Structure 1
Amino acid sequence: MSSYHTEVQNLNYNAATRCFEALVVFHEGHETRKVPISAPLPIATDFEAVSTILVARAKSHRAKGRAKMMARSPAQKMGKLVHLNDMIRQFKATMGLSDMSTAA
């Protein structure tokens, strides 16, 4: 069974656009997906209502393929944080640079 939870990070109110803006983070098993989202709401809106609306909009955008700036990164690997060297190795393999030595 995979774990799944959602959090709202960096919640701000943009007075110029009269919108709440945030980064909605979906933790899905061993992956983390981040979706920047905004919602036009009055500044006096309750935090619970704002976060519920932002999460719903992020889910909708993601389901419709409109979350163009979505970041996707591994959060954990076998219960441990992914080691930087593993990430470098994966990047090199993806880019076809596996024969390059690792910088110290």
Structure 2
Amino acid sequence: MSSYQTEVQNLNYNAATRCFEALVVFHEGHETRKVPISAPLPIATDFEAVSTVLVARAKAHRARGRAKLMSRSPTQKAGRLIHINDMIRQLKDTMGLNNMQTAA
């Protein structure tokens, strides 16, 4: 079962556009996806409401394929990239090499 978390980073209010701008980060299993997003809301809007709107907009942009500036990176754990071990395990399963030792 993969984990799923969302966070809002670098929240700013752009007075010129009257929008809140942020980087919404999706932590999905072994990957982190970052989506820059903005929402036209009054400056007096509280953080919970702003973050809820920004996350919803980021999810909608991703679902429609409109998150053009999205960045993706594997999660790093104990100095190793987790997805590489998963790829090696999957390759060994495909080739029938389950008994072969994995380095590191």
Identity of aligned residues (%): 84
Counterpart code for 2:32: T
1:37 is matched with 37
2:19 is matched with 19
Ranges in structure 2 where 5+ consecutive residues have no aligned partner: 85-104
Runs of 4+ in 1 over 3 A off after TM superposition: none
RMSD: 1.4
Q: 1:10 to 1:45 in 2, by over 3 A?
A: same
Equivalent residues, number? 82
Larger Rg: 2
Q: Distance in 2 between matches of 1:64 and 1:58?
A: 10
Q: Normalising by the residue count of structure 1, what TM-score does the alignment of the two structures yield? A: 0.75
Q: Distance in 1 between matches of 2:3 and 2:27?
A: 7
Q: Normalising by the residue count of structure 2, what TM-score does the alignment of the two structures yield? A: 0.75
2:58 is matched with 58
Ranges in structure 1 where 5+ consecutive residues have no aligned partner: 87-104
